[in-house]
Amino acid sequence: MSHNTFGHLFRVTTFGESHGPAIGCVVDGCPPLIPLSEAEIQRDLDKRRPGQSRYTTQRQEPDQVRIVSGVFAREADGEQVTTGTSIGLLIDNVDQRSKDYSEIKDKYRPGHADFTYDVKYGIRDYRGGGRSSARETAMRVAAGAIARKVVPGMVVRGALVQMGPHKVDRDNWDWDEVGNNPFFCPDAKAAERFADYLDGIRKSGSSIGAVLEIVAEGVPAGLGAPIYGKLDAEIAAALMSINAVKGVEIGEGFAAAELSGEDNADEMRAGNDGKTLFLSNHAGGVLGGISTGQPIVARFAVKPTSSILSPRATVNRTGGETEMFTKGRHDPCVGIRAVPVGEAMVACVLADQYLRHRAQVGVVAPRWPFES
């Protein structure tokens, strides 16, 4: 992970500003011969696309992705597959309304990266947040759509589990429900509460934070690497790198601080199929930085949108004091659209670790139980 690239072997490099001509990404190191179409990347992108309900920004971006390299028609059936070379993806920016930027070009919006980009680089593209805009996350979702196909049998899903003070009831968890409401909420009743609650927030011009959960199933045991290449460490970095994220946890997470060793232990039995059966998953699928074969469970906290209608004190570029409030199109709860982004980041980490495991060990198959 450095600057605009993440991953070691499955490597994603992105470019593009919110209001420039296009955003793009290069996925390098992808295995060859994986079927890949624009349509299936588009499917994931459409989940992240703004303007699909009254709870997300009304910016209208079709986010139509083009694959410009790294795929070729397979001889046998003409299906388009990866070739092992770098995959270039492009999305043209369409909805770049010409607008008046005089308000934001010299003032720093509190909670935004305006100040830090300016202090670091001495210049920033202030139009729509420039490079720090969440628009960049569209390319993460696109890369994630490819990553999902790298690990055979893996399914990565995400859900919004808390909005402000409202949490889902885990007894009501139904993955099928996630697509039935505009919040990616797995609990139909909680979704109704979210709707009422967020309508109030939206109308008042305020915003609210959220907690999201990503679950990856079908991840083979053995992925991850000791010490600094730990699977959970890389998931933590991947999720924390998403705009507005302030916390990440695996399995019990912060709740583990209050657990005793007895309560936190995931006891093990020999399953009927000769595979390990963990009697619980407090670990969230990772022990010593390496996957156990159980579902990988990660949660992350998204802060409230910084763009709000109430004026806030701030400073300008030349040192003067002033205040600001946000006009224009914004999400009252940016956490919602972070669900497909979180899925994509976890998928990318797992694809990368899958390839790294295959490199060092040569096989991706549980060795346990060993021969006696």
Compare residues 33 and 180 and give the one whose CB is closer to its own copies: 33
Was 238 annotated as part of a binding site? no
Q: In angstroms, give the least distance from the CB of 45 to its own copies.
A: 18
Placement of tokens 């009831």 in the chain: 169
Question: In sequence order, what are the residues at sequence separation of 6 or more whose Cβ sits closer than 8 angstroms to the Cβ of residue 363?
Answer: none
Enter the tokens of residue 31.
């295995």
Instruction: Return the residues of window 282-301 that contact its own copies according to CB under 8 A.
Output: 282-284, 287-293, 301
Could you give the CA distance from residue 195 to residue 333 in angstroms, rounded to a whole number? 11
Q: In angstroms, give the least distance from the CB of 74 to its own copies.
A: 7
Was 340 annotated as part of a binding site? no
Rule CB under 8 A: choose which of 43, 99, 189, 312 binds its own copies.
312
Ramachandran assignment for 224, one of left (phi > 0), alpha (psi -120 to 50 degrees), beta (any other): left
- Per-residue burial over 218-246, b = 16 or more CB atoms within 10 Å of its CB, e = otherwise: ebbbbbbbeeeebbbbbbbebbeebbbbe
Does 69 contact its own copies by CB under 8 A?
yes
Q: How many residues bind its own copies (CB under 8 A)?
A: 165
Does 366 contact its own copies by CB under 8 A?
yes
Rule CB under 8 A: choose which of 61, 63, 249, 343 binds its own copies.
249
Could you give the CA distance from residue 96 to residue 20 in angstroms, rounded to a whole number? 8
Enter the tokens of residue 108.
């720093």
Was 48 annotated as part of a binding site? yes
Ramachandran assignment for 363, one of left (phi > 0), alpha (psi -120 to 50 degrees), beta (any other): beta
Please identify, among the stretches 42-50, 57-65, 141-149, 221-229, the one whose residues bind its own copies according to the rule CB under 8 A: 221-229
DSSP state of 175: G
Does 186 contact its own copies by CB under 8 A?
no
Could you give the CA distance from residue 60 to residue 220 in angstroms, rounded to a whole number? 40
Using DSSP's 3-state secondary structure scheme, residue 225 falls into: coil
CA-wise closest residue to 42 among 90, 96, 83, 85: 90
Does 306 contact its own copies by CB under 8 A?
yes
- Cβ of 33: how many Cβ atoms within 10 Å? 11
Rule CB under 8 A: choose which of 210, 338, 344, 346 binds its own copies.
210
Placement of tokens 């011969």 in the chain: 33
Does 196 contact its own copies by CB under 8 A?
no
Please identify, among the stretches 1-9, 50-58, 174-182, 185-193, the one whose residues bind its own copies according to the rule CB under 8 A: 1-9
The number of CA neighbours under 13 Å toward the Cβ of 43 is: 8
The number of CA neighbours under 13 Å toward the Cβ of 315 is: 8
Q: In angstroms, give the least distance from the CB of 38 to its own copies.
A: 12
Was 299 annotated as part of a binding site? no
Was 288 annotated as part of a binding site? yes
Instruction: Return the residues of window 116-145 that contact its own copies according to CB under 8 A.
Output: 116-125, 130-132, 136
Contact letters (x/-) for its own copies, 32-51, by CB under 8 A?
xx------------------
Please identify, among the stretches 175-183, 186-194, 244-252, 336-344, the one whose residues bind its own copies according to the rule CB under 8 A: 244-252
Binding site, annotated residues: 48, 54, 131-133, 243-244, 288, 303-307, 329
Binding site, annotated residues for NADP(+): 48, 54
Binding site, annotated residues for FMN: 131-133, 243-244, 288, 303-307, 329
